[in-house]
Structures are given as structure tokens and as C-alpha cells.
Chains A and B, each alone.
Chain A
Amino acid sequence: MIKGNFIDNLPKVYGIYTGGFLGFIIIMAIGEQMGMSAKAIGIAFVAFTVAIYAIIGYLSRTAQADAYYVAGRQVPTVFNGMATAADWMSGASFVAMAGGIYFKGYGYMALLVGWTGGYVLVASLLAPYLRKFGCYTVPDFIGTRYGGNLTRFLAVVVLTVASFTYVTAQINATGTIASVALDIPFQYAVYVGLVSILLCSMLGGMRGVTWTQVAQYIVLIVAYLLPVFWISNKMGAGFFPHFMLADEVARIGELEQQFGFVKNSAADLANVPKGLAGITKAHSAVNATPWAFISLALAMMMGTASLPHVMMRYFTTPSVKAARKSVGWSLFFIFLLYSSAPMLATLSKLSLIDPSLPTGIIGKSIAEVQAIDWYQNWNSANLMFVSDFNGNGTLELNEFFMGGKAVVLATPEIAGLPYVISGLVAAGGMAAAMSTADGLILAIANAISHDVYYKIIDPKAETAKRLVVARVLLVVIGFAGATIAAMEIQGILGSVIWAFDFAMSGLFFPLVLGVWWKRANKEGAIAGMSLGLLSGLGYLIWVRNGGSGFLGITQLTFGIFGSAVSLVAMVVVSLMTSEPSAATQKMVDEVRVPSGKSILGRQH
């Protein structure tokens, strides 16, 4: 039912789906008016959307290798763009990014530039060529281009390190949202999240993930944009916030001048619950050195171009041409959310700190603030805190603290929007985290099942057996990720940024030079991947243990060091050893031409 005529009917199918989802929101809104409880609305939103994804996952089940690994290579450009956008925008983008901008301002906005600029590298350097290659996985390209099992295996190692770092954060995010929406303890909620994730990917592999990701994109973009527009209109800030918030941005600057950034003493700060932050940085002023900004943006851009779960989305398009266009559509769909995050941060901040607005709390008495309903809710969720440090009875800017997640999760409630919006936001966050987790777990499981099991251990394995191995791995990796996520070792955002650094340390230059430098050979690739990953990891461990670092490279940008080592190692070792065989050079020539047969067969 999903084949052939399903592809032709895609716009209709997803049109009906979108209409149905909007209808569901309206039904919930009516339910709220009729006295449906906040908790029931939250459960309904999460359960309804997850059930839909599970149905799509079931309908997309398959027993064919090319459908399982690359969705049969027939995903149309625009839909692949939506799926990539969902694959890309994780719990970090949806829940944490606006909060990061809210607290850190300019220095943090390097992530916006980095997480979008990377797609230019994807489109121009890699995606079309890897699509022409016809590989199932990223290590498939490395292993065939450079030859030998060791290169293939090293690529799997880098992929696994980067993607696994990333996926624990996503399972953590699904767990957080599930635990709030369903009101169950986090340790169990993590596994509820995991089961939802596996429902989408287990039966249909890449095909199932593709069609659920499109559905998840629609949910997450509605859930992000609707509150931003609504709040902006409600505050009278402008009906199209993106073009109309200049006065609000300027007003925040004025208020910051008026209040000043008072530094709290260490003793005062010790009372603030862990994970909450105050407003200590200017909203729109340039508060970071050029290198701090540029190095973070650069690390994120090169990381984007090396993350296998993104790259493999472009293996699913029908042609090389479609792969290029599809990158553009992906970035367009990402742009819709990313350009809204700073607007949400602006509206959220102004509504709280402007004393002339009814929602403003700065300048009110502490007792008055503590009596507000939403303050009590979010305070008990450990996401908001006020304290009268200077004892004057009035709330000052430096006496107000909030968790980064609260900017997205709590702003609708603070602005006085109905609870149905909060339920919608929870469903959106769940969709964002689930779609990314699916892409990542599938990337790891596919690499191990296709590249390690099929290509290295048992090249004679039959398709049915390969797909059983792939599915078993999917479950094992998912559970491993959930177990680590349940331990709550690090925050969502930090581990996401590390994943980018790991990926760029080990994979950026071996991938790029594989297409753009014919002379790159096997020995060079081995040196590039292993030394790149090891030096990046070494630098991270060194800085984490009190090392001073150099050139302003921090634990968030260690990939710059790792990839530099990788580049030097790869070039030097390649030049010191013999050039690749004539057959390999011919293969590179063929990759550079869009027309003709792919290098690897349709089924391999």
C-alpha cells in the first residue's frame, strides 16, 4: 500500500494528516474549555502523536534491503527535505536552543549560524557525490573508496562514537518530556520514549523512519511557530514577529542598561537550584570575541557535514540532482524554526523583565511573584527560582533564575496562552527528539549490520538474515542508549555539541578528500580517521581535567584541533605512500559525473 501510488499521493496524504492534526488541536482546545484537565490534555497530545508515528512505522514495514537501508531511493526532494529537517532538529534545537540564546545572547547564536551554514558544505562538497556512489551507509563509501576492511571499520568506530554521544541526549530529552506529560518518574519515562522510538524504525528501517520523520516535522513546526506568532500578537509586538521585533530588541537593551548586570556573590548563588541561570549577558550586543564566535560556528559547520545520520538521508533521493535540491529544502525547513528561536527568546525575555507589561515580574515585590500560579508550577518543576539577595523586598534582574528549557516550555503559560498550547509544545518536543533519535540509532545499527556484519564478517549472508541482524542491533543500541540516558551524566546541549566535534575530528577530511583529492589513499584515510579521533578525544579529556588548552579551543570546539590533525595526517601519510590504484582513480572520476550507473549496485 505504501509503494508506487503512495509516492504519487504524498502531498494529499500529508495534507490530510496536517488537517487532522490541526483538527485534533481544536478538539483539545474545546475540551479545555469544557473542563478537560491539563494533565489529560498533555497525555492526549503525546499519546495521540506517538500512536500515529507507530502506525506509519507499521505500514512501512519491509523485507527488502534497499527499502530498509535507503527507503528504496524514491523519496521526493521536498519530502526528503522535511524528513531531514526533523532528523536534524533534535531536542536540543527544539527545547534548548531558544533558552541558550535567551541566556547567552550573541556568543550562543554562533550555533544558529553553524547549524545552518554546514548545509552549504553538505550540498557542495559531499551529498551529491555520495548519492552517486550509491552506498547504503557512510562507512560503505569510506570502505569502497579507500579499500580494505580497516578503513571501513574505523569509519564505523567514528560514526558510533559521534552518534552514540548524540543519541543518549535525545533519549534523555524524550524521557524528560514523557515524564512531564505522562507524569511518571524519569527512569521509566526514558524507556517509554525508547519504545516509541523503536516503533517507528524497527519494521521499516529507513523507509519507516522517512515517513514518520515527515509526520514529526509537521508536528514540531506547528508546535514551535504557533506559540511564537500567538505570543507576539497577544503582546502587541507585531503580527509577523520575525520582521517586527526591532523595537522589542531595543527595549530589552534599554532595560538592561537601566537595571545593570549586578554580579551575585558565590554565597548567594549557592542557594540557586542546579541548572538554573540568571540573565547576565546582553541580549543583542556583541558579547564574544570574533574567534570565540567563529570557532564555534566553524566546528558546528564541519560537524554537520560529517554526521552520518544527516548524510544518509540524501542516499534516499531518486537522483543526484534531487539530492542537491533536497539539501536546499532541508535547510529551508530548518530555517523556519531557527529564525524563530531568537524571536521566541526576545518575546519571552521582554514579557518577564519589562515592568510596564502586565506579565513583567522585575520590580514587583518578591512575595507577589511567589504567589503567581505559573511561578509556583515551574518552581516546583525546578525550572524557576527567585530570591531576595539584597533584602529590599523587590525582585531585581539578578535575583531571577530560570532553566534553559523553560523558555520554550513555560513561555506560553507565562504569556497567558491556554494550556492546549503547552500540550502542543510537549508533543512538538517529543517529535523533535524522537525523529533525531531514530535517525541516529538507525545510522549506528545500519553501519554495524551492513559494514561490520555483512561486509566484513559474513559476506554471504542472505537478505532476510541481514535484516534480522539489523533489527536486533537497533534494539540493543536503543537499550544501551536509554540505560546511559537514565544515568543522566551530562546535559542535552553539551553532549550534542560534543557529537559534532567527534564527527568532524574523524570523518570530515576522509569524506571530503575522498571525493575532491584523487591522490588520497587507504593509508592516509586510516591515519586521518584514527589520529583525528584520538587527538580530538585526547584534547577533550585534557581540557576537562583542568588543561588550559590552546588557541582558544575549548571543550566545545575540540573538533577544530582533531580535524586539523586529521587533515595533516591524511595528507602527509597519503603522499608518503603509493598512489591509489588505477581502478580507484577511475572510480573517483565516475563519482564526479552525475549521470550513469552508481558505483555500487542497487542491491549490494
Chain B
Amino acid sequence: MSKQQQHWEKTRGLLIMTLAIWFIFSIGIFLFGAEMNEVTGPFGYPWTYWFTCQGSLGIFVILIFWFANRQEKIDEEFGFSEREDD
């Protein structure tokens, strides 16, 4: 397998992981919205309410930065990262 193919394999792996986390917090948990809202969560808000106000939103922010860092590592590993002065 060429360097480029290996790089793409890893990139695709990261994509799947990122989308899985994305799926859980944008779709998965809201399948159980009614049940989850019965329980008190962070700062005393009901769980579902908290996820819609802050939780999911904040997780998306962190997820994107995490994804960007991981992808940079993958690019560096294969020597595909851009030069700084690019």
C-alpha cells in the first residue's frame, strides 16, 4: 500500500470516529429525550434540557478541535503537512 493510501485509510478512520461521536450527541441521545429529562444533570438542569442548551453544542466545539489536532498528527506522520510559510 502506498504512503498516500495509508494516509487516506487513517484519515477515513478518524472521520468515522468523529462522525460516530457527532451522531451520539446530535441524534443518538435525543432518541431518549423524554427519559433522560427526568434526571437532574449538570448545574441542576434536567439532562436533555442541558444537552440542547449547552452540552451538545459544547461537545461539538471540543470535537472539532480534537479532530483538527488528530488530523494534523496523521498528516505529519506521513509527511503531508503543509510548510508553515505556505
Q: Which residue of chain A lies nearest to B52 when distances are taken between CB atoms in the complex?
A: A109
User: Per a CB cutoff under 8 Å, which of A114, A246, A320, A328 touches B65?
Assistant: A328
* Contact yes or no, A286 B48, CB < 8 A: yes
Residue contact A290 to B11, C-beta cutoff 8 Å:
no
Residues of A within 8 A of B48 (CB): 106, 286
Render A234-258 as a binary contact track against B, CB cut-off 8 A, 1 for contact: 0000000011111101100000000
A247/B44 in contact, CB under 8 A? yes
The docked-state distance in angstroms from the alpha carbon of A589 to that of B8 is: 9
Q: Which A residues are in CB contact (< 8 Å) with B39?
A: none
Contact yes or no, A249 B49, CB < 8 A: yes
Contact check, B30 vs A120: say whether CB atoms are below 8 A apart.
no
**CB atoms of A338 and B75 under 8 A apart:** no
Which candidate, A49-57, A61-69, A294-302, is the interface stretch facing chain B?
A: A294-302
Q: Are A592 and B11 in contact (CB under 8 A)?
A: yes
User: Does A43 touch B at the CB level, under 8 Å?
Assistant: no
Instruction: Please count how many residues in chain B sit with their CB below 8 Å of the partner chain's CB atoms.
Output: 47
Pairwise interchain contact B26-A324, C-beta atoms closer than 8 A: no
Contacts of B43 in A (CB 8 A): 243-244, 246
- Given the contacts A113-B56, A121-B22, A324-B67, A332 and B27 also touching, CB distance less than 8 Å: no
Pairwise interchain contact A290-B33, C-beta atoms closer than 8 A: yes
Contacting B at CB under 8 A, from A328-371, are 328, 331-332, 335, 338-339, 342-343
Q: How far is the CA of A125 from the CA of B8 in the complex (A)?
A: 13
A243–B53 CA distance with the chains assembled, in angstroms: 11
Q: In the complex, which of the residues B22, B37, B54, B82 contacts A120, with contact meaning CB atoms closer than 8 Å?
A: B22
Q: Which residue of B lies closest to A238 (CB)?
A: B43
Of the residues B4, B14, B30, B44, contact of A589 by C-beta under 8 Å: B4
Q: What CA separation (Å) do A109 and B7 show in the bound complex?
A: 38
The answer on a CB contact under 8 Å between A106 and B65 is no
**Least CB distance, B31 to chain A, in whole angstroms:** 5
Question: Looking at the complex, which one of B19, B51, B57, B81 makes contact with A338 (CB distance below 8 Å)?
Answer: B57
A119 at the interface (CB under 8 A from B): yes
A117 touching B33, Cβ below 8 Å: no
Give Cα A180–Cα B67 distance, bound, in whole angstroms.
Answer: 44
Is A604 interfacial (CB 8 A cutoff)?
no
- A interface residue numbers (CB < 8 A to B): 106, 109-110, 112-114, 116-117, 119-121, 123-125, 128, 242-247, 249-250, 284-286, 288, 290, 293-294, 297-298, 301, 318-321, 324-325, 327-328, 331-332, 335, 338-339, 342-343, 589, 592-595
Apart from A324-B72, A332-B61, A592-B11: 8 A-B pairs, beta carbons within 8 A: A113-B57, A114-B26, A120-B22, A124-B64, A288-B33, A294-B27, A327-B68, A339-B53
20 A–B pairs (Cβ distance < 8 Å), ordered by A: A106-B33, A112-B52, A116-B57, A116-B60, A116-B61, A117-B56, A120-B19, A124-B18, A242-B54, A250-B44, A284-B49, A318-B86, A321-B82, A325-B65, A327-B68, A328-B64, A331-B64, A335-B61, A592-B7, A592-B8
Ranked 10 nearest A-B pairs via Cβ: A246-B44, A117-B26, A109-B52, A324-B68, A328-B64, A342-B53, A120-B22, A328-B65, A286-B34, A284-B49
